[in-house]
Amino acid sequence: MKPMAHLGVGIGWRPEIADAVERLPGLDWVEVVAENICPGHLPDSLLRLLERGTRVVPHGVSLGLGGADRPDPAKLAALGERAVALGAPLVTEHIAFVRTSSPALEAGHLLPVPRTRDALDVLCENVRIAQDALPVPLALENIAALISWPDEELTEGQFLTELVERTGVRLLIDVANLHTNRVNRGEDPAAVLDAIPLEALAYVHVAGGVERGGVWHDTHAHPVPPVVLDLLAGLRSRVDPPGVLLERDDDFPPEPELAGELARIRDVVGAAAARPPRAAGPRPPADGGREARQDAEQEAGHGAGQDGGQDGATGAARIRVGLSQAALLSALVAGTPVPEGFDRQRVRVQARALAAKRAGVVAKLAPELPVILGGEAPYREAYLSYAKGRPMAAAGYRREALDFVEHLLIQDLPADPAARRRLTWWWQDRAGARPPRRVVRWARALAGRAA
């Protein structure tokens, strides 16, 4: 594997801190959420960064390469277009699933894939499809998770190692996610770092979070805690990372605090670099029977590097993975029973977190709604009541906002007539049609109660 180009220390570019990012001292590069930019209409701030030679890497969040379906060609093409427009040396995505096709459900969030042979086969095939479609190398990120799958067959280290060996994909290691999974799933970050092929490392993510009720929430809205910086130092003692990036997505601090966080990251990487690197002993194989299994897979026509198709073993694996992921996602967003073997309390915590995230995104897209509904608290109460047992709109968050408002109007809410008129005007302005008439609202409400 060729060495990764040196990136240095960077930060996640967000519109809310665009001006501050341009002024940060010693900034080497930035990462942008791929879905939030348009190749033909890049923000002026990004254009200025590119003009002065700052590298920009697109970071995708919606491919769902860990899902049971093959990657969407349109999403792959869009990600590739962004890489070309930015002159990026690589693109990155996540080892996660975000949707199911049967039933059609959207998580609006990155969810963990089961570390099983079936899921690994499907993921490897999806990664190879993505690699063939993208114009630059691909790196995949380990994600943070609240829940664990039952009956897993591989450790995180084994899963990532075999993924790299079978596809040649690079790794984006998020040390904050390693800490999250230590708290939430009892996984040892050092064991993961010892097991994975660090020569495949593309770069590193660092971020903050918060612990509530024994659960670590990877918020990207808090300062990076010392325990995460310690993990960064531990990784640096093993390898010289091509790049390290600070992620911050909300509750943005003043510019000096951002600069201070980047300085602390540089200090950690520099201090760790001053120590001799840890000797790399022989890494145990990802699985003692892997070679024998690969021989058997090749004989069956669906080994590493081959596409078994829907009629082969990978096609059968897709069906099994799809059924298990649909059962979990349906429990999380549609209120169906929790599948056997999952921690029911953790699934409830994850379901509440998904609904709260939906509420936050809708409020950002439509900031008028909390104002019309009387403030943040009444808005959230109304939205969470709406979202309970109701999956997110497949058409995305803008449709979700319209569906939420229509739901309120059908219920003759809010109670204040003036607020209801404002909400009606808001809906009509964006939907391009009249809101449902009162008789239609009553009919829909009665049909809902009957269901």
* pLDDT confidence bin for 73, thresholds 50/70/90: very high
pLDDT on residue 307: 44
* Model pLDDT, residue 282: 45
Binned at pLDDT 50, 70 and 90, residue 431 comes out as confident
Mean pLDDT of the chain: 89
pLDDT per residue as tens digits for the range 370-428: 999 999 999 999 999 999 889 988 788 899 999 999 999 999 999 999 999 999 999 99
**Confidence class of residue 301 from pLDDT cuts 50, 70 and 90?**
very low
Which range (19-33, 117-131, 297-311, 321-335) has the least confidence? 297-311
pLDDT tens profile 169-214 = 999 999 999 999 999 999 999 999 999 999 999 999 999 999 988 8
Span 18-24, average pLDDT: 97
- Decide if pLDDT at 296 tops 50: no
Alpha-carbon span 249 to 348, nearest angstrom: 24
Q: What is the pLDDT of residue 275?
A: 57
Of 252, 258, 307, 245, give the one whose Cα is nearest residue 33.
245
C-alpha 305 chain-centroid distance: 26
Strands 29-33 and 210-212: unpaired
Bridge-partner residues for 198, per DSSP?
Answer: none
Among the residue ranges 17-21, 335-339, 368-372, 445-449, the one predicted with the least confidence is: 445-449
**Mean pLDDT of the region 228-253:** 96
Work out the pLDDT band at 145, boundaries 50, 70, 90.
Answer: very high
Angle (deg, nearest 10), helices 397-410 and 438-450: 100
> Considering the entire predicted model, what is its pTM?
0.87
pLDDT of residue 16: 94
Residue 288 scores a pLDDT above 50? no
Contact between 296 and 93 under an 8 Å Cβ cutoff? The reply is no
On the question of pLDDT at 304 being above 50, the answer is: no
Task: Indicate the pLDDT class of residue 314, thresholds 50, 70 and 90.
Answer: confident
Cβ–Cβ under 8 Å, residues 58 and 82: yes
State mean pLDDT over 55-75.
97
In angstroms, rounded to a whole number, what is the distance separating the alpha carbons of residues 450 and 299? 55
